[in-house]
Amino acid sequence: MIGALKMMIWRDVRQSYASGGTWLPVIFYLSAATLFPFAVGPDRDLLLQTGGGILWIAALLATLLPLDRLVQPDLDSGFHDQLLVRGIADELIAFARLISHWLAFGPPLLFAALLASGLMGLEGPPLITLLASLAIATPALAGLAVMIAALTAGLKGAGALGGLLLVPLAIPLLIFGAGSLADQSGSALLFLSAVSLLLVAITPFAAGAALKAMRE
């Protein structure tokens, strides 16, 4: 079972990086960060105050970009069925997807956030808090992406529906994540960790149930 998990993760990660799809969220993220100073003007204090929040919103939006290639291609190509026939459960497939998607999504996004924070003039402790909050949240964002991709697989207009589904589900992450930037006590980061852990923990089961229901 562990061997199968490793192989599925390795295949997904290799495919994501080889197809170049991994860099799409990064480019999107950097463009959003570049546009923001043009829109609000080069006022340093204003950028410092709002920059972290903007980078957080850009991270949520970047989550939406890879939705259509997380689950649907493997369902269409029969790959998913071939895994099931070998006795691999939907939940394990979803779990492998969660890990592989995080590996292809989390580190590049953090790297992009590091570059983008330069454009906002963020440095020192606020920068470290921002990167820490994003690092804690990216597994949850990857989990949300996998859940939504599984729920909307096979539907018409899955992309638009995915956007609608993500917004309410990501609100707790945004509140504690962006909230941690102004919070000195560190408790916002702890709440963020709790929310992130919860979302990661339910992802294999929620996505697995969605995939099962689709076969009926």
Q: Which amino acid is at 78?
A: G
How far is it, in rounded angstroms, from Cα 165 to Cα 151? 10
Check if the beta carbon of residue 26 is closer than 8 Å to that of residue 108: yes
Residue 138 is given by DSSP the state: H
156 binds another protein (CB under 8 A): no
Q: Which stretch binds another protein (CB under 8 A): 29-37, 74-82, 113-121, 203-211?
A: 74-82
The answer to whether 82 contacts another protein (rule: CB under 8 A) is: yes
Site string for another protein, 85-124 (x = CB under 8 A): xx--------------------------------------
Question: For residues 119 and 213, what is the distance between their CA atoms, to the nearest angstrom?
Answer: 45
Q: Quick one: which segment of 39-47, 53-61, 83-91, 174-182 binds another protein (CB under 8 A)? A: 83-91
Q: Give yes or no for residue 18 binding another protein (CB under 8 A).
A: yes
Tokens of 19: 């197809």
Does 15 interact with another protein (rule: CB under 8 A)?
Answer: yes
Which two structure tokens, joined as six digits, stand for 14?
């290799």
Q: Does 79 sit near another protein (CB under 8 A)?
A: yes
Alpha helical stretches, state H, 65-124 = 72-76, 79-85, 90-120
Binding site for another protein (CB under 8 A): 3-4, 7, 11, 15, 18-19, 76-79, 81-82, 84-86, 215-216
